[in-house]
Amino acid sequence: MTTKNIVEINNLDFSYVKGTKVLENINLVVKPGDFLGIIGANGGGKTTLLKIILGLLSPDKGSTKVFDQSPKKARRQVGYVPQYAKIDLDYPINVQEVVLMGLLGNKKTWQRFIGSDKKKATAVLEKVGLVDLAKKRIGELSGGQRQRVLIARALVRDPKLLILDEPTSSVDTKAETDFFELLKKLNQEIAIIVVSHDIGMISPYINKIACLNKTLFLHDGGEINETMIKSGYKCDIELLGHGIPHRVLKKH
């Protein structure tokens, strides 16, 4: 019996303005157990591609299937941590309440959270190592801890795919390492897609990598090489220090 693909994209084009393609001829398959890292230049279409997978944007051409359905129909099976999650740190809301917000899509406006909802919140907080902080105000947490709360919020509906857009852009190196160690552990249960600018950080954790800059170059395996980075950044690069591009040089 064959295992169905989680994400399957074929010959996809997308443009915000007619005649100016942001994505062109994108082909991508994400399978159960995949940990896909997406890297590439700013403005290369990474966030746009995620929004198409989430069903927030529709392509001009090509097909997108998520769990063998349209992205919109598959939304409940996908957890999402956006790049800029807006949380008012002065608002008196605790960690458990933030996580419970992930269940709002399952409820009608007038429905309250019940005991089983709170058990789900406790279970995912246990997964991300924050169960002891369930009653702590969100504004009192460190940046790394807040990112874990956002993962818990995304996990509380028990998704089969977790998508993260630049999840560690505002945390320090230690918190970033801890964060990806957590994702590696979660990947034992669910597939993960992460967009990151820090290609050196994600390389040890992912098992598949895509370089995206309008077109997509996919490689099975987390190893990053010069050819891949050139394809993603469309410029000459110098690889220094364990394959990390310390210099990205455009031709003049």
Which CATH number characterizes residue 81's domain?
Answer: 3.40.50.300
Higher pLDDT pick, 216 / 224: 216
Higher pLDDT pick, 198 / 156: 156
In a domain, 39, yes or no: yes
Report the predicted TM-score, pTM, of the whole model to 2 decimal places: 0.84
In a domain, 198, yes or no: yes
Task: Please calculate the CA angle 220-221-225 and round it to the nearest 5 degrees.
Answer: 100
In a domain, 2, yes or no: no
In a domain, 1, yes or no: no
Question: pLDDT band for position 47 (50/70/90)?
Answer: very high
Number of domains in the chain: 1
Rounded to the nearest 5°, which phi and psi values hold at 144? -65, -40
Higher pLDDT pick, 10 / 249: 10
In a domain, 134, yes or no: yes
In a domain, 205, yes or no: yes
| Parent domain of 17 | 7-249
In a domain, 53, yes or no: yes
